[in-house]
Amino acid sequence: MSFIQKFAERVDTAAISARAIPQITQEQDFGVDEAYAIQAASIDRRVQRGDPIVGIKMGFTSRAKMVQMGVSDLIWGRLTRSMIVEDGGFTEMSRYIHPRAEPEIAFLLRKPLSGVVTPLQALDAVGGVACAIELIDSRYENFKFSLADVVADNASSSGFVVGTWHEPGTDLSNIGMIMNVDGRPVGYGSSAAILGDPVRALVSAARVAGEAGLSLEPGMVVMAGAATAAIALEAGQHVRLEASGLGFCEFRIR
């Protein structure tokens, strides 16, 4: 078995059993290209289990996130169907190791999107925009990783909640975002923190997906990355994101 398959199985097992593992780069050094190969192979295992890819997520598209995690390269990961958490619904703490929540913007594609595109071309492929919360849950002990580790671990992604879809024409360049936990505001930000405008994250998503030979298809979701640092979650909490002009989305973790 190649080390790609070995580590793909390692991160996959850690994710499905919600058990933290040591950083895999401490066992063997490898680069970012190999890390994406591990990610692809680990998500392939899920797809084989009947859990298809429904979109992609961008990561480290804001300074706040780069500073929080000490990693400064843009990364991406795959979203699969089992990661969907219904807006207004529940998710179980037992599914996670040490989950965190992030305020994000989501795009719904109405046309295929791949390769090098302009912001206008990217927007032409969009059928709806919404506020969204990503649940991240690094499979590594203490949420500590190198760039290659986090890429191999599907960019820490473990769930996502999407609010009501709005018209694609909505200006996304400065959406005020407030994260509330149990009715108390715990984080504030603006969508401008996401590469200056989240549309740029969509342009990057098209490029990286194209490079990876992954086609972004109509109906798929693209998550632009967090506007603020992530918030650590505890069982019993109610998390709600309010986004100016985009309404809100929320879930409970029990």
Give the nearer residue to ligand OOG in terms of CB position, either 65 or 95. 65
Total length of the chain: 254
Contact between 180 and 101 (Cβ < 8 Å): no
134 binds ligand OOG (CB under 6 A): yes
Q: Which residues contact 222 (CB under 8 A, 6 or more apart)?
A: 55, 56, 57, 58, 106, 107, 109, 201, 202, 205, 216
Residue 195, both tokens: 């590469």
Give the nearer residue to ligand OOG in terms of CB position, either 5 or 190. 190
How many residues touch ligand OOG under the rule CB under 6 A: the total is 14
Count other C-beta atoms under 10 Å from residue 162's C-beta: 23
Give the nearer residue to ligand OOG in terms of CB position, either 5 or 53. 53
Q: From 3-11, 130-138, 170-178, 233-241, give the range in contact with ligand OOG by CB under 6 A.
A: 130-138
137 binds Mg ion (CB under 5 A): no
102 binds Mg ion (CB under 5 A): yes
Using only C-alpha atoms, the chain has a radius of gyration, in whole angstroms, of 17
Scanning residues 164 to 223, which ones bind ligand OOG (CB under 6 A)?
none
The per-residue b/e assignment along 69-103, b for 16 or more CB within 10 angstroms, e otherwise, is bebeebbbbbbbeebbbebeeebeeebbbbbbbbb
Residue 150: which of Mg ion, ligand OOG, none does it interact with, CB under 5 to 8 A by kind? ligand OOG
Scanning residues 49 to 108, which ones bind ligand OOG (CB under 6 A)?
59-61, 65, 69, 102
Q: From 79-87, 176-184, 223-231, 243-251, give the range in contact with Mg ion by CB under 5 A.
A: 223-231
Kindly list the distances between the CA atom of residue 79 and the CA atoms of 32, 134, 183, 187, in Å, as whole numbers in the listed order: 19, 10, 28, 24
Residues lying near ligand OOG in the complex (CB under 6 A):
59-61, 65, 69, 102, 134, 136, 138, 150, 155-156, 225-226
